[in-house]
Amino acid sequence: MSDDLCRLTARETVARLKAGDITPLDAIDAAMARIEAVDGRVNALPTLVPERARDRARRLMERAPAERGLLAGLPVAIKDLNPVAGVRTTYGSPIYADHVPDESDVAVLRIEAAGGVVLAKSNTPEFGAGGQTFNEVFGATRNPWNTSLTCAGSSGGAAVALATGQVWLAHGSDLGGSLRTPGAFCSVVGLRPSPGRVPRGPSNSGFNYLSVNGPMARNVADAALFLDVMAGLDPRDPLSWPAPSVPYREAVAAPARPRRIAFSADLGFMPVDPEVRDICARAMAHFEGMGVAVEDRAPDFSGAMEAFHTFRAVLFVTEHAERMKAHRDKFKPEIIWNYEKGLALTAADIAQAEAGRAALFQRMADFFQEFDLLACPTAAVPPYSLDQRYVDRIGDTVFDNYVDWMGLQCAVTVTSSPAISIPCGFTSDGRPVGLQLVARPRGEAELLQAAALFEQAAGLDSLLPIDPKDPAS
């Protein structure tokens, strides 16, 4: 029964919780049994808090099932970048290896207020830096489709926990693809909302538009449910804005078909693995079969990566200046590189990035007057070796840093548009590939509706959850 319960969708499990067919304690027991059965092979959830979860569940059970919030006692995982009161929170860094915060992050408070029960912290690279989930505190997280491969990052533990059925919903965050790339690499759904859609903080970078919190799930409707939980105005976040009048879960339940979608295999600037290009291009036939017009077009992304690098470097100085003074020797080299890049910036560099971002935003606004959505591969490559820190080459293009291989994701980040990664196929050797859909700013409802229609046509969500697979002998 426990394993059967873990194979239900989040919505099905919440419905059973609200009906009183099962209790939150039953859901915790089922999740813990699944974690014990599979996590030793993938290392997705290194920090477990079952007793804290059971205490929370018992307090929820003092209310009637219908009064327990949108999640009704459903166990969830929180990324190890977000503090949870009384729970070891390491940020994937040896600096915080034994850190236990007194207060929870704003996003965590919203999840718990909606009846979510924190059961685990999911693994992440150090301070979320990089598209590969490994750190010196907990080690590496493995891709469940092939345990010799990476699950990407930085929400890698979240994606793997979902794909293997350890939790029904997982919180994540995204700066340069950290919800989307693990979604693609693990064949789950990762949604990057518009800045301010999900409140954050408190932090030193409250006005930062690059980093957002968001939902991960095994299917689009579950992601919509979790976004309803997370979204809304919070006075502690200066960028946050109210939840929509029509909940996202209701919008997805009756999805409207987009009229016109632009597809680009490379966004006009990015080298992309040929097999990934082909899989994503073929996947657009699902939209064409619905009567959606699909055209080979893309906005002009000139200057997007330059602006991204500048704003990212500023953010690293803002967030890490004090830590760097005291603990520089404990940071991984990629973070030191990003930090030093920030210190070297001039006012002219930052002004140029601001102007470039503003120009790109206007080009995107014009583009969305013509198209409902933009589609492209989520990641330029399929999952790669667990032993490789980052992708340093695609075809004839060589990258001299750990960020540029994620150009398809980073460039979209700069636009402030919401974006979602949905499973769209597998390479010939079984590695998952994701399709990235991008909507106009604050267009999460339209984005989720289109993703739901695609998911229904593709049917890949029915493959989950899976047991971890070792590489073919």
Start-end of H helices in 114-247: 156-163, 180-186, 220-230
Asked if 410 and 315 count as a contact pair (C-beta separation under 8 A), the reply is no
Quick one: average pLDDT of 124-148? Answer: 98
Q: Which of 18, 79, 121, 341 is catalytic?
A: 79
Dihedral sign (CA 435, 179, 43, 161):
negative
The answer to whether 462 is a known catalytic residue is no
Query: pLDDT, tens digit, for every residue of 147-202?
Result: 999 999 999 999 999 999 999 999 999 999 999 999 999 999 999 999 999 999 88
Question: How many domains is the chain partitioned into structurally?
Answer: 1
Q: Are strands 432-438 and 419-426 parallel, antiparallel or unpaired?
A: antiparallel
Whichever domain contains 79, its CATH number is 3.90.1300.10
Point out the catalytic residue in the list 104, 122, 154, 264: 154
Cα-Cα end-to-end distance for the chain: 33
Give residue 472's pLDDT band: very low, low, confident or very high (50, 70, 90).
Answer: confident
This prediction has a pTM of: 0.98
Q: Which residues fall within 8 angstroms of residue 387, CB to CB, at 6 or more apart?
A: none
Residue 154 annotated as catalytic: yes
Does pLDDT of 473 surpass 60? no
H-state helical runs in 301-346: 304-327, 333-343
107 three-state secondary structure: helix
Full residue range of the structural domain in which residue 413 is found: 2-463
- Residue 330: active-site member: no
pLDDT in tens, 351-395: 999 999 999 999 999 999 999 999 999 999 999 999 999 999 999
Does residue 102 fall inside a structural domain?
Answer: yes
Of the listed 104, 155, 178, 421, which one is catalytic?
A: 178
What does the pLDDT look like over 305-352, one tens digit per residue? 999 999 999 999 999 999 999 999 999 999 999 999 999 999 999 999
Residue 468 lies in a domain: no
Can you tell me the mean pLDDT for 129-140? 98
Confidence at residue 314, expressed as pLDDT on a 0 to 100 scale: 98
What's the confidence (pLDDT) of residue 202?
Answer: 86
- Residue 471 falls inside a structural domain: no
- In this predicted structure, the answer to whether residue 274 has a pLDDT above a threshold of 80 is yes
pLDDT at 2: 77
Specify the pLDDT at position 1: 60
Is 247 among the domain residues? yes
Does 470 map to a domain? no
Tell me whether residue 434 is in a domain. yes
Across the chain, what does the average pLDDT equal? 97
pLDDT one-digit tens code per residue, 207-266: 999 999 999 999 999 999 999 999 999 999 999 999 999 999 999 999 999 999 999 999
